[in-house]
């Protein structure tokens, strides 16, 4: 909640500055109004709970009447909520609510689309750290609303040994050994999972020989090599496919038997969903 409070306060301050001069000039001080959040595009609603918090932070006198919850399927013409209270406050909250909900709904919608393509498999679709700085928690929240899973939130909640770590550490074996020793030395981090990236089948075989990890990331593998890797690993470790996976090929990857598919595009190149906050005319 502290992250949310800080985000909302900072975002409102960024937008309002020393005052909303347009509303101050055009709208009477005591004016009361209503508005409704209209859906203009088919998708998954996300950010509804956040919108309620934004309204309360903007002005405790604002009343949000919820009609559609986070995670619901929406279509053009649907009304997600109505907002009633001081007109100036509605106008202050408008853009922040829309910016958040449009982006979060776009992420949730894309997540749902990819999950539908994986139906009938046991794969879990995950996001990555390829997020917008400062609002990672919102984007990962949207992935969850869309039915997806979160990968690590940051550098602090998992040991993920990637290609650069391997090269800097002097190879796969010293990198894994160092990670294991780190967990032993720092007991409070003993629960951190260790995942390591493999760039080819030879590296998968090398990792299998060393062991003592939790998950193997199969990075930029072809479909045929993913299948071979899954057969080599035989369920001994979790498997994650990553790199070059799109809506066109995700089902083929999902059918290879990997446990996870991680897709950076879920958060770094998403199309926002078309929503609009419109005044209710008397």
Is 41 in the active site?
no
Looking at 127, 139, 219, 240, which residue is catalytic?
219
Q: Which stretches does DSSP call E strand in 97-166? A: 124-126, 159-161
Is 95 in the active site?
yes
What 8-state DSSP symbol labels residue 149?
B
How crowded is the C-beta side of 76, counted as CA atoms within 13 Å?
Answer: 3
Residue 51 backbone phi and psi in degrees, to 5: -60, -40
Residue 130 CB-density burial (10 A; 0-12 exposed, 13-18 middle, 19+ buried) = middle
Q: Which two tokens stand for residue 229?
A: 């890797």
Is 157 in the active site?
no
Looking at 56, 130, 183, 193, which residue is catalytic?
130
Is 162 in the active site?
yes
Going by C-alpha positions, the residue among 42, 51, 82, 46 that lies closest to residue 66 is 82
Looking at 56, 129, 144, 162, which residue is catalytic?
162
From the CB of residue 75, how many other CB atoms can be counted at a distance below 10 Å?
A: 10
Looking at 70, 94, 139, 197, which residue is catalytic?
197
Q: Which two tokens stand for residue 125?
A: 């679709």
Q: Which two tokens stand for residue 260?
A: 């996870």
Q: Which residue has the tokens 């996870």?
A: 260
Report the C-alpha gap between 166 and 173 in whole angstroms: 9
Q: How far from each other are the two terminal CA atoms of the chain, in whole angstroms?
A: 36
Q: 189 and 183 in contact (C-beta within 8 Å)? A: yes
Looking at 40, 56, 95, 183, which residue is catalytic?
95
Report the C-alpha gap between 246 and 114 in whole angstroms: 9
Q: 134 and 169 in contact (C-beta within 8 Å)? A: no
Active-site residue list:
95, 130, 162, 197, 219
């Amino acid at each position: 909640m502290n992250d949310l409070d800080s985000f909302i306060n900072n975002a409102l301050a960024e937008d309002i500055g020393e005052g909303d001069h347009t509303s101050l000039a055009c709208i009477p001080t005591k004016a009361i109004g209503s508005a409704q959040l209209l859906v203009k595009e088919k998708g998954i609603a996300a950010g509804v709970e956040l919108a309620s918090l934004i309204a309360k932070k903007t002005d405790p006198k604002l009343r949000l009447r919820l009609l559609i919850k986070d995670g619901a399927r929406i279509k053009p013409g649907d009304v997600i909520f109505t907002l009633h209270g001081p007109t100036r406050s509605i106008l202050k909250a408008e853009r922040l609510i829309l910016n958040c909900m449009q982006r979060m709904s776009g992420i949730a919608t894309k997540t749902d689309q990819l999950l539908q393509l994986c139906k009938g498999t046991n794969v879990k679709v995950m996001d990555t750290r390829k997020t917008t700085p400062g609002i990672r928690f919102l984007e990962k929240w949207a992935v969850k609303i869309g039915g997806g899973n979160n990968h690590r939130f940051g550098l602090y909640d998992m040991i993920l040994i990637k290609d650069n770590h391997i090269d800097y550490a002097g190879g796969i074996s010293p990198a894994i050994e160092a990670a294991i020793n780190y967990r032993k030395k720092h007991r409070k981090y003993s629960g951190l999972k260790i995942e390591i990236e493999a760039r080819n089948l030879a590296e998968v075989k090398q990792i299998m020989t060393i062991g003592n990890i939790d998950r193997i990331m199969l990075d930029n593998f072809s479909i045929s090599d993913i299948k071979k890797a899954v057969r080599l690993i035989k369920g001994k470790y979790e498997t994650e496919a990553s790199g070059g996976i799109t809506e066109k090929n995700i089902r083929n990857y999902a059918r290879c038997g990997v446990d996870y598919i991680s897709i950076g595009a879920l958060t770094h190149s998403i199309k926002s969903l078309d929503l609009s906050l419109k005044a209710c005319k008397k």
